[in-house]
Amino acid sequence: MSHDDFVQDLGISTPDMHMKVHYLNTDLEIESKDDLSRILEEFGEDVSVLHQGEIRGYQQASFEIAGSTSGADEVINYFCSLVESLPTEVREIWDGCCARILDVGYESGTTSPNYRSEIRASTIRRVAEIGASIVVTIYPFREEVNTE
C-alpha cells in the first residue's frame, strides 16, 4: 500500500492528493400549492425522501433514487419511468406542480481539464414529456482533514 493510499484510507486529504471531477447523484425536486403526499406514496420505496414540507406557502418534496449508483442518464430515466407510471389522478397532481426539477449534481476536482457526462437526446425528450427541467449543480472540491 502506498503512502497516499494509506493516508486516503484514514480520510485525510493532503495538498499533493488530487480528486477527479465526478457525478454525485440526481435529485428530483417538486413544488406545488397542492398536497404532494400521493406522489410520495406512489414512488414508495423506489425513492429516498430528502425533504418534504411547506416553504413559503408551497408544498415541496425532494427525492433521490434509493440505493442508486448509476450515472445521470440512467437515474433521470428511472425518475421518468416513475412519473410515467403514476395513476391518472396522481399524474394530475404532478402536472399541476409549479416546479419539477431534476438536479444533476457533480463534485468538482483538482485533476483533469474536463469531465463529460452524457444525457442522451431520448432522455431529454422524456424529461420534456413529463414537464420537468434539468438543472446542473457543481459542488466545489473540499479538502477533508480528519481531526480525530
- In tens, the pLDDT along 98-112 reads 999 999 999 888 776
Q: Which cell numbers hold the place of 82? A: 416513475
Structural domain contains residue 100: yes
pLDDT at 49 over 70: yes
Q: Are 95 and 131 in contact (CB under 8 A)?
A: yes
Structural domain contains residue 106: yes
Predicted pLDDT at 131: 98
Structural domain contains residue 45: yes
pLDDT digit string, tens, across residues 56-90: 999 999 999 988 668 999 999 999 999 999 999 99
Structural domain contains residue 11: no
Predicted pLDDT at 19: 80
Structural domain contains residue 5: no
Domain count, the chain: 1
Structural domain contains residue 8: no
> Burial code of 67-89, b = ≥16 C-beta within 10 A, e = fewer?
ebeeebbebbbbbbebbeebeee
Q: Are 30 and 100 in contact (CB under 8 A)?
A: yes
Range of the domain at 67: 23-139
